[in-house]
Amino acid sequence: MTSTHTTEVSTRRQTYTVPTHINEPDKLLFGLTARQLLLLITGASLAYATWLQVLTWAIAWGGGLLWSRGLAFLAVLPLVLVTLAGTFLQIAGRPLELWVLVWIRAHLSPGTSVWRSAKWDAAEERRLHTHNSAHTQEGQRDHEQEGWS
């Protein structure tokens, strides 16, 4: 008597987590990226150093405390606004400093750009093609008349 034993093989499915935000930078602190933190720290440092410097100069020139603080505030305000814009402002999904670099490169590089529509290009190509083929046919006729083969 032969007996057949069937064993059930338990198959385990392994699951994997697939990262979906590969192209997004990591958030480090308060939801800010490393780039944003670096810009904020640099801008805040420059603004604070400017604040102290202008305040010291204004007091040394004999200005009152309120006038000195007002002058220091006016000197620091553009730095703060540029820092905040550079940190948080994005145009078309790209950071502001990238647009500044593109603008600088466009204004420093020599050259002329000419825009032509696709319709114009197709029409111009047909015109050039018929113009060139007419010249080619004229050239062949001239050669035939002169006895060229």
Greater pLDDT, 72 or 122: 72
Residue 28: what pLDDT?
76
Grouping H, G, I as helix, E, B as strand and the rest as coil, residue 95 is strand
Domain residue ranges of the chain, discontinuous segments joined by +: 27-108
Residue 139: what pLDDT?
59
Which range in 39-43, 61-65, 123-127 is most confidently predicted, on average pLDDT? 39-43
**Token pair of 90 as six digits:** 């994005």
- Crossing angle of the two packed helices 65-88 and 96-108, in degrees rounded to 10: 90
Q: How far apart are CA 51 and CA 71, in angstroms?
A: 9
Backbone dihedral region for residue 15 (phi beyond 0: left; psi -120 to 50: alpha; all else: beta): beta
Residues 33/24, Cβ–Cβ less than 8 Å = no
Residue 128: what pLDDT?
72
Give me the mean pLDDT over the 47-53 stretch.
94
Inter-CA distances, 57 with 5, 62, 64, 133, Å:
96, 9, 11, 78
Grouping H, G, I as helix, E, B as strand and the rest as coil, residue 90 is strand
Tell me the whole-structure pTM to 2 decimals. 0.54
* Tens-digit pLDDT profile for residues 5-16: 555 555 678 888
Q: How far apart are CA 149 and CA 133, in angstroms?
A: 19
CA 78 to chain centre: 23
Q: How far apart are CA 139 and CA 135, in angstroms?
A: 6
Residues 15/41, Cβ–Cβ less than 8 Å = no
Residue 17: what pLDDT?
82
Q: Where is 75: in which H helix or E strand?
A: helix 65-88
* Tens-digit pLDDT profile for residues 56-112: 888 888 878 888 888 999 999 999 999 999 989 888 888 888 999 999 998 888 877
Q: How far apart are CA 35 and CA 83, in angstroms?
A: 12
